[in-house]
Amino acid sequence: MKINKIILAVLLPFMLGSCEQWLDVAPDDQVNEETLFATGDGYRNALNGVYRDMATSRMYGRELTWGFVDVMGWVYDPLTIYYDCSTHDYYDVLLGKYNATGVKAITEAFWSQAYNSIANCNNIIARIDGENPSKFVGGESERDMIHGEALALRAYLHFDMLRLFAPAPKVADDKGYIPYYERYGSTSEPRGSVSVILEKIERDLLKAKNLVAPFDTVGDHRSWMKTSARIEGGRGDKNLPDDLFYLYRGYRMNYYAICAILARVYSYGDKQTQARENAQEVLDATYQNGMYLNKCFTFTGGGSYNSNYKLYDGVIFALSNQKLIDDYSHYLGSENIQLPVYYDAIIYNEDYDEIDTEDARLGLFSVVDDYYYYSKKYTPQVGNSYGEDLIPMVRLSEMYYIISEALYTEGQTQLGINKLDEVRMARGIRGGKLQIGSLEEMQEAILRDARRDFIGEGQLFYYYKKYDMTPNDWGYTIGRVLPLPDNQLIH
């Protein structure tokens, strides 16, 4: 894992209309690290390079969102994959054959890329701590922001490797599962238990939260968190930063993204109160608009669904991949792989009675041959192209799910049900329909709604794993822990 050289990420000329204004980088020749980090721009480029690597198809651009992990979560129609896609690696993924050659190649690729990105984060962290603020255009605030984002990304990547390659905390033992790399240049670290790794993730996120807070939560910077600036880059807004590096905070580990990830981590570890508090901080985020305070993160209105398939008004953190639509198009009815959504699990309940047919999200599908339902999330939008490159990593609805479960667990059962109902009503469903009488029923209700909201985002599998539930009625229990790559078994 030791890296003596780093790929220099060179910012291309800025062009309007996309977060690529600040993120569009092209690999140049290898450059000595001392040269790269001689200026604040070098730190910017190194950090942008981590985001871009995370957005590639073998990471969150496909496998860790709408590809491999959503197949693990049975988001897609299993019969289609079973009968029509038997020559594709996702066939083995569906059936839990994780030691199949093709599946191992996929898992080894995203494991290696994740830890390479972690190494690059560690390089930034090791060098930036103590750097003179004058090296950065934004001074101490920018230095700490970059430092905090690198810490948060390190924690985020370790957390997803933990969720994939280790059991859920609910059933975990004291065995070591994955290494936690926090020293740049280290080539081997001992594998830690689930509880130990979660403690390190929490530590990094809390430190990152404190470092990034002075940048994102003070003065005019709060308005940079509204959708028009956070996602659309300031469309029609005159109150923009002069430095384009500070735009598109929704594509970065901003302060509220770190709060949201902390909430996700705490919820996964069943620390309900801490999870609820961090999720609530996201819900409470506001910016000044004249005499009024407006919410930074909102649910997309029903009238905008046709031009905003990703409902990005509620996306707190995202990545960008300009090839996303083209890549996804190859999985829509090709000869050896197609990924129609498991529509029965969305529209029906466990008794196969139709439910919530007024849900506006049901319109976010393309229907082929009156049978195959494909998500429109990664297809060209009607009306505008904002967000077509966007990969949702964490969204507002998850914060509501976390708060709902926490309130119910803490004994405030009706408040928990009401909070879940807020998401449903924001999606067009009539309120008051939920009939919940136990924590298990609450978790099942959260799962049903999450299945609709998280299509193509790689989160559903983790809910099944966290709750120790199965996503199918085939009498088949999917494997919840991926085997470590072969080259990791010697440590």
- Better-scored residue on pLDDT, 491 or 174: 174
Banded model confidence at residue 251, pLDDT cuts 50, 70, 90: very high
Residue 478: pLDDT band with limits 50, 70, 90: low
Write down the pLDDT at residue 204: 98
Instruction: Pull the structure tokens for residue 365.
Output: 């599908």
Label residue 14 by pLDDT band (50, 70, 90). Answer: very low
The yes-or-no verdict on residue 481 having pLDDT over 70 is yes
pLDDT reported for residue 292: 87
- pLDDT at position 371 is 75
How many angstroms separate the CA atoms of 340 and 342, rounded?
7
- With beta carbons less than 8 A apart as the criterion, state whether 318 and 308 touch: no
What is the average per-residue pLDDT within 220-226?
90
Look at residues 233, 5, 40 and name the one whose alpha carbon lies nearest to residue 119: 5
Task: Please give the pLDDT value at position 476.
Answer: 52
- The residue ranking higher by pLDDT, 76 or 26, is 76
For residue 289, count CB atoms less than 10 angstroms from its CB and return exposed for 0-12, middle for 13-18, buried for 19 or more. Answer: exposed
pLDDT digits (tens, 9 = 90+) for 453-462: 999 999 999 9
- Residue 437: count of CB within 10 angstroms of its CB: 8
65 versus 384: the higher-pLDDT residue is: 65
pLDDT value of position 359: 93
Residue of 327 and 476 predicted with greater confidence: 327
Q: What is the pLDDT of residues 73-117, one digit of tens each?
A: 999 998 899 988 899 999 999 999 999 999 999 999 999 999 999
485 vs 109: CA distance, rounded Å: 9
User: Which of 229, 253, 254 minimizes the C-alpha distance to 241?
Assistant: 229
Does position 267 have pLDDT exceeding 90, yes or no?
yes
Q: In whole numbers, what is the pLDDT of the chain averaged over residues?
A: 89
Q: Can you tell me the mean pLDDT for 155-177?
A: 96
pLDDT (mean) for 229-244: 79
Give CA angle at 396 (361, 60), nearest 5°.
85
Decide: 231 and 395 in contact? Cβ < 8 Å: no
Is a pLDDT exceeding 90 seen at residue 214? yes
The predicted pLDDT at position 474 comes to 59
What is the pLDDT confidence band of residue 289, given thresholds at 50, 70 and 90?
confident
What is residue 166's three-state secondary structure? coil
What are the tens digits of pLDDT across the range 130-149? 899 999 999 999 999 999 99
Confidence at residue 393, expressed as pLDDT on a 0 to 100 scale: 98
* Each residue's pLDDT tens digit, 321-376: 999 999 999 998 766 688 999 877 777 766 667 778 899 999 999 887 777 889 99
Residue 7 has pLDDT above 90, yes or no: no
pLDDT of residue 288: 87
Q: Which CATH architecture has domain 5-476?
A: Alpha Horseshoe (1.25)
